[in-house]
Amino acid sequence: MNHLYQINISKGGVPKLPTDEAMVTFEGIVGDKQKDRRYHGGPERAVCLFSIEIINQLKQEGHPIEAGSTGENLTLSFNDYALLVPGIKLQIGPEVIVQLTSYAAPCKTIKKSFLNEIFVRISQKVFPNESRLYTRVLREGKIRKGDRVDIIV
């Protein structure tokens, strides 16, 4: 079952730290802040997603990455992460619906999560389907660690 592996928040910057539940609004996750709002946050980048399976793959490659260390708000366990592309809608738990809007370009603030600080390792342009994704929130609500995640039409 595809599910919400971890919810991550911070007062600004990385790493974002785990919490068991959170309120999701059109502006993002309550209690989460971004240092540079030019590139992060806002309605079209309200929530950032990433895959625990890709994180584990990167760990096997020797990268010192952890869930939340690259700034994603929601770490998903998703059987076929490559299906998640801009335009797709996801139901997260019983309340929240998000729509994927774009791939999140990696920047130097996450470099400590990578061998030799080569943060482009999660660039969609360089490594397709191994990138974080931004979403807009279509329906607000509460989410909890372990919530089911489904693609909806």
CATH number at residue 29: 2.40.33.20
State how many domains the chain has. Answer: 1
- DSSP character for 148? B
Query: What is the span of the domain harbouring residue 67?
Result: 3-152
pLDDT digits (tens, 9 = 90+) for 57-99: 999 999 999 999 999 999 999 999 999 999 999 999 999 999 9
Say if pTM beats, i.e. exceeds, 0.75.
Answer: yes
